[in-house]
Amino acid sequence: MNRAIPRSSLLHPLATGSVPLRPASAPPMIHTAVTGLAGKHVLVTGGTTGIGRAVAALLASYGARIFTFGRNRKPLDEALDYIRAAGGEADGMVGDLTEPDDVRQIFAKAREVFGGIDVLVNNAALPANGIMQMDDAEWRYAVDANLVGQLACAREAATRMSEAGQGHIVFIGSMSAEVREKGSSVYVATKAGIEGFAAALRKELNEKGIRVSLIEPGSVSSDMASPSADQQREMLKNGLMLRAEDIAVCVHFILTQPLRSDIILMQVRPHRQEI
């Protein structure tokens, strides 16, 4: 005979311990309880344009408190206005994640403003071509921004989250890690590195209560995309390109899963993108 079980347990069993059996008389479980974002402290790297800005605005609209940064003041201020217009609280500073001192200052400032970090959305990245098409300074800077900088931010976030015993790090990767297109070897190297790092980092941080997720989008309309604005509009119309807001929805889905549930890898493609 099944023992009586509180309805709250039926909807959202505790992350630890045994999962209770559902009595035959229990009402249908239409939707599991989800994790809320209201009041969460979220640091978004690369939050001044594209996917980062879309993610910041969407999470802010659900009550998250956003901290972001960018290399230039004007786009940073514009992004903060955009995020606040979505109904959320936002702050930020000028900084470059390729500079170790800047990364430390960014996380120190975020802690000063919000008192802690619950979520890191590790999104910042630059376009990069094949290594033979880039000069030495260009490809090294791309690797620093797309890979080394993301590792540095993950380390800073994990250090703080470990103190709290919980947290979530979401990496925004790319399908390039799998497709490995000709003419983009430097970009592929950084995204393949993120793919491997995220998988290993999850195993290192899991026991600390920190979740790690990776989203690998296909072609996304943004300032980084190589087609012209007119070409991007046509590709969006024909289902060959995603909008930045589509990836923001994926981030929201990952962050609102029950504590017992981890989304480890999410691959998202435009409907008609075959690769």
Active site residue 187: yes
Q: How many CB atoms lie within 10 A of CB 14?
A: 11
Residue 267, Cα to own-chain centre: how many angstroms? 13
Catalytic residue among 62, 82, 141, 187: 187
Quick count: other Cβ atoms within 10 Å of Cβ 55? Answer: 32
Three-state secondary structure call for residue 215: strand
**Number of neighbouring beta carbons within 10 Å of residue 3:** 7
Taking the CA atoms of residue 170, residue 176, residue 177 and residue 180 in that order, the dihedral angle to the nearest 10 degrees is: 180
The sign of the dihedral angle between the CA atoms of 193, 255, 54, 153 is: negative
Exposure letters 90-123 (e unless 16+ CB within 10 A, then b): bbbbebbbbeeebbeebbebbbeebeebbbbbbb
Tokens of 163: 């103190």
Q: Vertex 76, ends 218 and 195: CA angle to 5°?
A: 30
User: Which active-site residues does the annotation give?
Assistant: 187
